[in-house]
Amino acid sequence: MPIRPSTPQPTAAPTASPFAASPFDDGGRITCAPRPAFFLRAHPLAWEVVDVEGAPVWVPQLSRHELLPGAQGIRTLTRAEQGDPRLAWRAARQQQEGEGFVYLDPTAEIDPRFRPEGIDAATYCYAIPCIDRQRRPGVRFTELWEVPIPTPPGMSQVFRFDHDLANAWRASLVADGLVPQPNPLIMEREIRRARQRLARAQAAAPSAARDVKVATVEAEVERHEAAQVPAEAPAPAPTPRKRRGASQGAS
């Protein structure tokens, strides 16, 4: 992970992770604003089409549930509760799950096939020691696919999001059964919306810009119509159980 040579060494211990574990880079601090830890979650009504290995695929849209006290139902812990950080978000997560959200385990290791090079982390939420523009130390929790790139001194750290690997990982969530397959009605709704966007583009006054937009939206409609749903991996066959009488006879 690129760290500027002029970046000061950390003077405070990293903040404890609200999950079981979170990897840190203790070699220095990047210049950027801190950001709280988060869950990634999927909702059964939120799907989109992306390209995975050159083919259009339906994948779940993921949103963050940031563990920021006072926001999205996250509690501020009392002094007596400091020993168990899960108390801050447990009730909020249960409420969101009751509304249909599927939460992804932030401590589960991501398959190496979906990890960007140069990132010393294996979970989708990892922490980087940082220092803001006022020189205050902190921690920035970020997604595994947000890759820091070389940034000129004096600028806040710039990140490049690796969409290809992130999209492939999102498709694997369906194939592995971590996120249920989409309801056909949801896919039909998104295709219908794409066709409506095409109709609006075609209804515009003739111009070069209109032709470009029509061609773009036509390609979008074709991708939606051709997109496939990742097939779930077959469940392992049950192990046959021996009949008690047969096992006793063999003995």
Whole-angstrom distance, CA of residue 17 vs CA of residue 29: 17
Domain count, the chain: 2
Q: Based on the domain organization, do 59 and 157 belong to the same domain?
A: yes
Q: How confident is the model at residue 243 (pLDDT cuts 50, 70, 90)?
A: low
pLDDT digits (tens, 9 = 90+) for 187-225: 999 999 999 999 999 999 999 999 999 999 999 999 999
Picking from 157, 174, 191, the residue at the C-terminal end of a domain is 174
Q: Based on the domain organization, do 75 and 58 belong to the same domain?
A: yes
Q: In the structure encoding, which two tokens stand for residue 160, read together?
A: 């490049």
User: What stretches of the chain show up as alpha helix (H) in DSSP?
Assistant: 90-98, 163-175, 184-202, 208-226, 244-250
In a domain, 247, yes or no: no
In a domain, 25, yes or no: no
Answer yes or no: is pLDDT of 80 > 50. Answer: yes
Picking from 174, 205, 235, the residue at the C-terminal end of a domain is 174
Q: Based on the domain organization, do 53 and 115 belong to the same domain?
A: yes
Q: Based on the domain organization, do 56 and 146 belong to the same domain?
A: yes
What local confidence, expressed as pLDDT, does residue 231 receive? 77
Q: Based on the domain organization, do 195 and 117 belong to the same domain?
A: no
pTM value is: 0.78
Q: In the structure encoding, which two tokens stand for residue 87, read together?
A: 């108390």
Q: Based on the domain organization, do 125 and 90 belong to the same domain?
A: yes
Q: Based on the domain organization, do 170 and 54 belong to the same domain?
A: yes
What local confidence, expressed as pLDDT, does residue 118 receive? 85
Q: In the structure encoding, which two tokens stand for residue 47, read together?
A: 């799907």
In a domain, 12, yes or no: no
In a domain, 231, yes or no: no
Q: Based on the domain organization, do 139 and 209 belong to the same domain?
A: no
Q: Please tell me which residue, 5 or 209, carries the higher pLDDT value.
A: 209
In a domain, 19, yes or no: no
Q: Based on the domain organization, do 164 and 191 belong to the same domain?
A: no
**Whole domain around residue 222: which residue ranges?**
183-226
Q: Based on the domain organization, do 160 and 189 belong to the same domain?
A: no
Burial status of residue 72 (CB atoms within 10 A of its CB: 0-12, 13-18, 19 or more): middle
In a domain, 100, yes or no: yes
pLDDT digits (tens, 9 = 90+) for 55-72: 999 999 999 999 999 888
In a domain, 128, yes or no: yes
In a domain, 9, yes or no: no
Q: How confident is the model at residue 15 (pLDDT cuts 50, 70, 90)?
A: very low
Q: Based on the domain organization, do 35 and 139 belong to the same domain?
A: yes
Answer yes or no: is pLDDT of 109 > 80. Answer: yes
Non-local CB neighbours of 180 within 8 Å, separated by 6+ positions:
44, 102, 174
Q: Based on the domain organization, do 218 and 163 belong to the same domain?
A: no
Distances (CA, A) of 68 to 25, 72, 127, 138, 158: 22, 8, 15, 14, 23
